[in-house]
Structure formats: C-alpha cells, structure tokens
Amino acid sequence: MTYAKLERFEFILKQLDSEGKIIVANIADALQVAPETIRRDFDELEQQHLLSRVHGGAIKYTNVRNEPVFLRKLQMHKDAKRQIARIAAKRICDGDTIAVDTGTTTVHIADFLLAVEDITVVTNSIAAAIQFNLAIEERRMTGKVILLGGTANPKQSSVAGAMTLEMLDNMNFDKAFLSCGGISEGIVYDYDLDESLISKKMLKHSKVSYLLADASKINGKSFFQICHLDECTEILCESTCPLEWQAYEEKWTICNGGKSG
C-alpha cells in the first residue's frame, strides 16, 4: 500500500469519525483526487469493515447481515420513509385488496390514507396492522385488516413462517407494497429469510407491486434475495435513480419532488 493511499485512508476515517457520513465528491475535492479514486478507497475500507458504503458516500461500519431491531430502525431515515409512504398511499384505490409486508417504511402507509373505501389489507406486520386499524377507527378508510398467522417475531413486530406462507398461497392481491434491506446490481435483498419469502410470495400473487426503498438501501446488499428490480412495477424512493441504474429509470418515482405522480 502506498504512502499516499495510507494518508487518504487516515483522512477518510478521521472525517467519518467526526461527521458520521461522508460524501465521495467532498472527500475527492478535499484530497484533490478523482472521485473514482475515493470510490475505490471506500470499497477497500468497506472490505476491511471500517465503513459501510451508501449512495454517494459512506457511513460508519454496520454489519448488513444483522438487521437493527424494529423500534431503532423505525427512527432511521424517518422523514424519507414517510415521504415514500405518502406517495405509496396515493396508489391505493377504492375496493383494492392489498398486501403489505414488514418494514419501517410500509408501516407508515396507513398514516396517509384519506377517504378510501372498502379496502382489504393483508399483512404480516403487527405494527402495520395496528396503523391500518387506526385508520379505520379514525374513518380515514373503510374495509378490513387481515393479520396473517405465523410465528411472532417481537424484535420486528411481525409474524412469519410456514403458516404465513400457506395462508398467502390461497390469496390474490391487486397491489403489493414491499420493503427491502438493500438493492444491488438489480437485485432486491432482505436481512431475514422468512420475511424475504413472504415478500416474494406477496409479489408473486399481486397484479401490481411497489417497492418502497429509501436512499440508504441503494447499493446495499444483505444475504437473502427477494426479487429482481424488473419484477417490481414501480420503485418509490426519495432520491433520484442512480446513473448506473438507467435501465430502471422508467420504474423510478422520486418521492420528494420531480416525478412524484
């Protein structure tokens, strides 16, 4: 390893320690090197578990194979998740039967429903079921909420397992609203095998599917694959579609401006 590279690494880690998140362009400007050099540095430091790559930059290292517990994760990128959920709620129409998986973005969808009639909501998320029931109590929607059976996971406020999958085998949906743990190279990932199987089955049994993914999920990879991006009808994100993902630009909806219809 060259002395120049060691100096860059030292600078990157020092900035990361003080700021919590660093941007490729800013580091490149500060060190007067090409952004491609910093991206390679970030990749090498990530392999050493000294940082974690995110869209456009890096954050302090987190183990992507271990999902944060639900309540802590609920507070992460909360504004972005609610922006995405607000647009997702607009996709729900009178008479729809929808599937909603477990996630800290999908859980906010019910908060933005208003004057929607005769909706059937099927979910394996205990937290989402509570929020949709609240929407019924507050008369922001009418319909019913079906909480799937299965083995409870208190850390994720969800149910999963063979019973859950068997119930889904007998159901068909107009629309599915799906969360994820990360998206990388056109593949959608989740942290948990059981939950990824449920999301996969919801997608398979739905006419239309919406992937709700905040920008922190971009270029994130965890262990279990849900689907390819091509299988999703629309991708809802608060950030623009990455330049290297132009094949999916037509599916991409920016939820804080731009194409947000």
Rounded CA gap, 177 and 209, in Å?
A: 6
Tokens 């183990």, residue located: 63
Domain topology for 70-254: Rossmann fold (3.40.50)
44: tokens are: 């090498």
Name the architecture of domain 3-59: Orthogonal Bundle (1.10)
Amino acid in the structure at residue 64: V
Same fold, 3-59 and 70-254: no
Q: Residue 234 is encoded by which pair of tokens?
A: 């629309």
**Closest-CA residue to 141 (of 170, 162, 121, 167):** 121
Tens-level pLDDT at each residue, the chain (261 residues): 555 888 899 899 999 988 888 999 999 999 999 999 999 999 889 888 888 887 788 888 765 555 556 666 667 778 899 999 999 999 999 999 999 999 899 999 999 999 999 999 999 999 999 999 999 999 999 999 999 999 998 878 899 999 999 999 999 999 999 999 899 889 999 988 899 999 999 999 999 999 999 998 898 877 789 999 999 999 999 999 998 898 999 999 999 743 434
Residue with tokens 């709620």: 89
* Alpha-carbon distance values, 49 to 19, 38, 188 (Å): 18, 16, 22
pTM here is 0.73
Using alpha carbons, list the distances in angstroms from residue 45 to 6, 16, 41, 58, 99: 11, 12, 6, 10, 39
CA separation, residue 39 to residues 43, 88, 152, 172, 241 (Å):
6, 33, 41, 44, 18
pLDDT in tens, 124-149: 999 999 999 999 999 999 999 999 99
Write down the domain spans for the chain. 3-59, 70-254
